[in-house]
Amino acid sequence: MREEKHRRSIRLAGADYSEAGGYFVTICAAGRKNIFGKIANGSVQLSALGEIVSECWISIPEHFATAQVKEFVVMPNHLHGIIFLGVGARYIVPVDGMARQTESFQSPTKATIPTIVRAFKAAFTRKAGEELGMAGKDIWQRNYFERALRNGKEYGDASRYILENPLKWEWDKQNLARMPLPNSCEERQLRVVLP
């Protein structure tokens, strides 16, 4: 008998990830390969593939009227970004709480963070296939990280983390060639609130 594997959810219990507010998202390249660019002197230099990641991320609001793209950075092997969801004039999903369903595996809910991330990955994969001949290639890890930003401090911490990420690349846990962290005093200064 074959043992079924279940993916562990990192979402807050009962949250449908369609509520107005900010969401911190991290999406990694498959195998954490450095395919989106490189870091030189604390700045990101995007590859052609990285440019497509950036273009597709920026275009999210064109496909989801309630979504706004805030701070983001495309790193060599991952993307960090903040998506803000609000209720816009073109928002057509009923606002009655009873009318909404909670997002669950293989049961997407319109205009939620999981649906937006799936659409982003699909649009990127399609465009990378068309423009760079990468059809059928595994580019993204299967899962991603998301965190609901519950207050202004969390939003500020996430924004700072995103903007400073290229400067800390040599110590970043996503960097497979990272350097060992400096002594414990400096290590405390480098530590950030969000992964």
Residue 95: burial class (beta carbons within 10 Å; 0-12, 13-18, 19+): exposed
Q: Rg of the chain's alpha carbons, rounded to an integer?
A: 18
Nearest to 192 by CA among 74, 8, 20, 24: 24
Residues 139, 123: Cα–Cα separation, whole Å: 12
**21-28: strand order across its sheet:** 67-74, 78-85, 21-28, 145-149
Domains of the chain: 21-94+105-190 (3.30.70.1290)
Question: pTM (2 decimals)?
Answer: 0.75
Show the beta-strand stretches assigned E in 2-144: 21-28, 37-40, 43-46, 67-74, 78-85
The tens-digit pLDDT sequence of the chain (195 residues) is: 445 544 444 445 555 556 789 999 999 999 999 999 999 988 999 999 999 999 999 999 999 999 999 999 999 999 999 999 986 533 333 334 443 444 444 445 577 999 999 999 999 999 999 999 887 678 999 899 999 999 999 999 999 999 999 998 888 777 777 766 555 434 444 444 454
